[in-house]
Amino acid sequence: MVQDIPVLEAGLHLGEDGRVRCGWHGGLPDYLLYHDTEWGFPVDNDRRLFEKICLEGFQSGLSWLTILRKRENFRRAFAEFDFHKMTQFTEEDVERLMQDKGIVRHRGKIKSAINNAGRAIDLIAEKGSLAAYFWSFEPQPKDRPARFDLAAYKANPLTEISTRISKDLKKHGWSFVGPTTVYAFMQAMGLVNDHLEGCYCRPVIERLRQDFVRPA
């Protein structure tokens, strides 16, 4: 039984509610909620996709928990990640954001998010939607491990596909979208199901992915 597998070996954690989960949430309530209700759930909303890839860029060199706890501040600071509004940001807005203690005050990342808003609009004009673009890169089952346990996860921190997306985004003028950032985005937005075998969310996500209508 899953409960008998040592947590550190299996990467799993038995919660106080009796549910077995991926252990990376560390039992922290906000991180646990994110694991249970967001991470890996398939997303086809352009604004949510744009927000996530921007926040993954801000995470670079930091932890996702740091960004998660500042997420509402980021939303407020960046016009709810409405990329049309963000393209109107000026140097004054950059300076305003550099003074905002509620977000990560990194000039390069701030300017990157603003730049990427314009690039998102260009990509939508070319591909129809961000959702159609990103989901066109969804890995096929044959390209995924037959059993996704901790060993498979450690052996697969990146994929050829995340590298390909990264290169293509950069070709389209995006920044702070390296392969590690892109793979974290793929995990979170449901392009892959990286909940570990034994985590109660894994079959939930599998059912959602089966019913999910891929954007075209």
Would you please indicate which residues are annotated as catalytic (active-site) residues?
A: 34, 56, 64
> Binding site for Zn(2+), residues?
22, 35, 195, 199
Q: What are phi and psi of 14, to 5 degrees?
A: -90, 115
Residue 166 to residue 123: CA distance in whole angstroms: 14
53: Cβ contacts below 8 Å, ≥ 6 apart: 116, 177, 181, 182, 185
Please provide residue 136's backbone torsions phi and psi, each rounded to the nearest 5 degrees. Answer: -65, -15
Binding residues: 22, 35, 195, 199
Strand partners, 175: none
Helical H segments across 78-200, by residue range:
83-86, 91-98, 107-127, 130-135, 150-155, 160-171, 179-188
Neighbouring residues of 5: CB distance < 8 A, sequence distance ≥ 6: 12, 198
Q: Give the span between the Cα atoms of 87 and 85, in whole angstroms.
A: 5
DSSP 196: P
